Amino acid sequence: ETGVTQTPRHLVMGMTNKKSLKCEQHLGHNAMYWYKQSAKKPLELMFVYNFKEQTENNSVPSRFSPECPNSSHLFLHLHTLQPEDSALYLCASSPPRVGGEQYFGPGTRLTVT
């Protein structure tokens, strides 16, 4: 366990559904990240938050909507997804200190039918 939790661990949703992924950390980290992990592709950074403020949006389609109500919680709201959005969605957090590495959650395995 790394101290970063994600729920749900598995999610199957239709293309017209609305669902949300949740990430939580109580490590005192300031930055939180959403990544998409697909087979045989590098981890794709989606969003970055620093002290609740979004600092990075890597041209992610608007059907993915992040929310960071505080430094400990991060959500990814999903709406009208496509089958190619099926992937493992990883949340990570990192501390502000120099040299600090990222701590990853276990991920949510998303299948869009």
Partner 1 sequence: AQTVTQSQPEMSVQEAETVTLSCTYDTSESDYYLFWYKQPPSRQMILVIRQEAYKQQNATENRFSVNFQKAAKSFSLKISDSQLGDAAMYFCAYRSYSTSGTYKYIFGTGTRLKVLA
Instruction: Give the residue with the Cβ less far from partner 1, 17 or 43.
Output: 43
- 66 contributes a contact to partner 1 by CB under 8 A: no
| The length of the chain, given as a count of residues | 113
- Count the Cβ atoms, other than its own, within 10 Å of residue 13: 17
Choices 13-21, 48-56, 62-70, 75-83; region in contact with partner 1 by CB under 8 A: 48-56
Of these, 11, 48, 81, 112, which contacts partner 1 (CB under 8 A)?
48
Per CB under 8 A, 33 contacts partner 1: yes
